[in-house]
Amino acid sequence: MQLLILFVLQFLYGVCAIGLAAYSIHSAWLVWQARKSRTATLALPPAVWPSVTIQLPIYNEQHVIERLIDACAAQDYPLDKLQIQVLDDSNDGTQQLVDRSVTYWQRTGRRIQVVRRSTRAGFKAGALVYAQPLAEGEFIAIFDADFRPPRDFLRRMVPHFLAPGAEKLGFVQARWGHVNRDYSPLTRSQALALDGHFAIEQDGRQAAGYFIGFNGSGGVWRRACIEDPKVGGWRQDTLCEDLDLSYRAQLAGWRPLYLNEVEAPAEVPPQLNAYKRQQFRWAKGSMQTLRKLGAQVWQSDLPIQTRMAAFVHLGNYLIHPMLLTLLLLIPPILLLGATPISPVPLIGLASFGPPLLYAAGQIRLHRQVWWQRWLYLPLLTLLGMGVCFSNSRAVWEGWRTTGGEFQRTPKFRVERSGDGWRNSSYRVPIDRMMLGELFLMAYALFAAVLIAQRDGWLSAPFMLLYAASFGAVVFIGLWQNRPTRAHTARRGDELHSFPASDYDTARAPVRGPLPAAAPPGDVLVKTTISQVE
In three-state secondary structure terms, 64 is: coil
Under DSSP, is residue 490 helix (H, G, I), strand (E, B) or coil? strand
Report pLDDT for 529: 45
Distance in angstroms (rounded) separating the CA atoms of residues 414 and 427: 13
Residue 176 domain flag: yes
- Look up the pTM and report it: 0.90
Question: What pLDDT score was predicted for residue 509?
Answer: 47
Check: CB of residue 288 under 8 Å from CB of residue 238: yes
Please give the Cα distance from 62 to 418 (Å, whole number): 19
Residue 429 within a domain: no
State which residues form the domain around 127. Answer: 34-270
Report, in angstroms and rounded to the nearest whole number, the Rg of the chain calculated over CA atoms: 24
Secondary structure of 139-164 in HEC code, one letter for each residue: EEEECCCCCCCCCCHHHHHHHHHHCC
Which CATH number characterizes residue 114's domain?
Answer: 3.90.550.10
Residue 53 falls inside a structural domain: yes
502 is catalytic: no
89 is catalytic: yes
- 532 near 133, Cβ under 8 Å? yes
Q: What pLDDT score was predicted for residue 458?
A: 73
Whether 73 is in a domain gets the answer yes
| pLDDT tens per residue, range 205-242 | 999 999 999 999 999 999 999 999 999 999 999 999 99
**CA distance to 63, 123, 132, 272, per residue, from 424 (Å):** 9, 22, 33, 15
Domain count, the chain: 1
In this prediction, the residues of the chain whose per-residue pLDDT falls under 50 are 344, 487-510, 514-523, 528-533
Q: Is residue 118 part of a domain?
A: yes
Q: Of 70, 88, 89, 244, which one is the catalytic site residue?
A: 89
CB 52 within 8 A of CB 83: yes
CA distances from residue 430 to 186, 324, 474, 481, 525 in whole angstroms, order as listed:
17, 21, 10, 7, 40
Q: What does the alpha-carbon distance between residue 252 and residue 519 come to, in Å, rounded to a whole number?
A: 50
Dmax of the chain from CA atoms? 84
Say if 522 falls within a structural domain: no
pLDDT tens, residue by residue, 444-457: 999 999 999 988 87
Beta bridge partners of 496: 489
**Position 62 in a domain:** yes
Report phi then psi at 197, rounded to 5: -60, -50
Burial of 36 (0-12, 13-18, 19+ CB in 10 A): exposed
Give me the catalytic one of 146, 242, 244, 419.
242
**Dist CA 101 CA 66 (whole Å):** 7
Whether 528 is covered by a domain: the verdict is: no
